[in-house]
Amino acid sequence: MNLCRPDELKSCAACCGLYNVPDATRPTLWKKLHRRTTLFRTTPRSLEEIDAYQRTVRSAEPEAPLEEIIHVCEFTGFLDPRRLIVGCQLHPSAPSNSEVDLRGLCHYGSMACKAFFCPAWAAIPGSYLGILVHALQDWHLYGLVITDVDFVISLFSLLEAQIGGTIDATRIEGREASAVFREMISWKDTWPLRGASTLRRNRYYFKPSAPAGELGSEDAMDRLLDCLAFTFDAPTNSGAAKAVVEETLKRFGRAYGRE
Ligand code: SF4
Ligand code: SF4
């Protein structure tokens, strides 16, 4: 499976710095990506014009990145008319590039962009990926969830402990358990205790703390809450945060048992 673009409904651009900004909520990122896409579609493919495009985007988006070391690439945009697929507008297959690879013009250089694979590629088991790719239908949440290896492994560990075995994907397709599962993965964007945080800090560069299947429930709970604390820079060490997770896990268990 191509984790960066598993199908024609969503994709990820986390390692292009998409979420590395003070306001990474969906409406704000959508507006930015839409503006960049519209501008780049009308930019002639010459060095001077692409350079001018880059300067225009920089002046329209003057906010400092959250992490200095992660470049917020001006060339990330939408690649399809429906604005569902985020990705590299310098890629040879991007609209109007006529199969010419322009990625050498970006901050990282062509080779780095071509060769990078985040830890999720190796760390998330295929059985989890199948369930997640089916449940996630939007680029913004997809890029937050699929790249957060600890969140995914912790969540599945807790779910498996709740139901006493591995999850049967067919038992949560389009049913009540599926709705509760979607609610839990949506915590990466709409965690109920996030307060007014506009941060959606991305963990794409974090290696897994423990491989799938090797986490006890207590550790899984701690890691899940740590991932949410990092994402929103909001404390999750209160009893209230743990209570939200435990209550939702119980609802999932009951719904799964009824399917
Ligand atoms: S963060 Fe990972 S999944 Fe996302 S675009 Fe980069 S390599 Fe692909
Ligand atoms: S040039 Fe590189 S960093 Fe920029 S959008 Fe393309 S792949 Fe991402």
204 alpha carbon, closest ligand: 1
Tokens of 63: 């906010």
The number of beta carbons lying within 10 Å of the beta carbon of residue 218 is 8
Largest Cα–Cα separation, the chain = 62
Query: Is this model's pTM higher than 0.85 or not?
Result: yes
CA of 224 to the centre of ligand 1 (A): 21
CA–CA separation, 19 and 133 (whole Å): 20
- Give the pLDDT of residue 171: 85
For residues 121-147, average pLDDT: 97
Contact 125, 209 (CB under 8 A): no
pLDDT by residue (tens digit) across 75-97?
A: 999 999 999 999 999 999 999 99
pLDDT by residue (tens digit) across 169-188?
A: 988 877 899 999 999 999 99
Residue 103 near ligand 2, beta carbon < 6 Å: yes
- Give the pLDDT of residue 225: 97
Using a 10 angstrom Cβ sphere, with 0-12 exposed, 13-18 middle and 19 or more buried, the burial of residue 81 is exposed
Residue 243: φ, ψ to 5°: -65, -40
Residue closest by Cα to atom 4 of ligand 1 = 12
Residue 11 near ligand 2, beta carbon < 6 Å: no
- Give the pLDDT of residue 112: 83
- Give the pLDDT of residue 10: 98
- Give the pLDDT of residue 47: 95
- Write down the domain spans for the chain: 14-115, 120-258
Q: Is the pLDDT of residue 18 over 80?
A: yes
CA of 176 to the centre of ligand 1 (A): 30
Residue 77 alpha carbon, nearest atom of ligand 2: 5
**Distance separating the N- and C-terminal Cα atoms of the chain:** 28
CA–CA separation, 241 and 233 (whole Å): 14
- Give the pLDDT of residue 128: 97
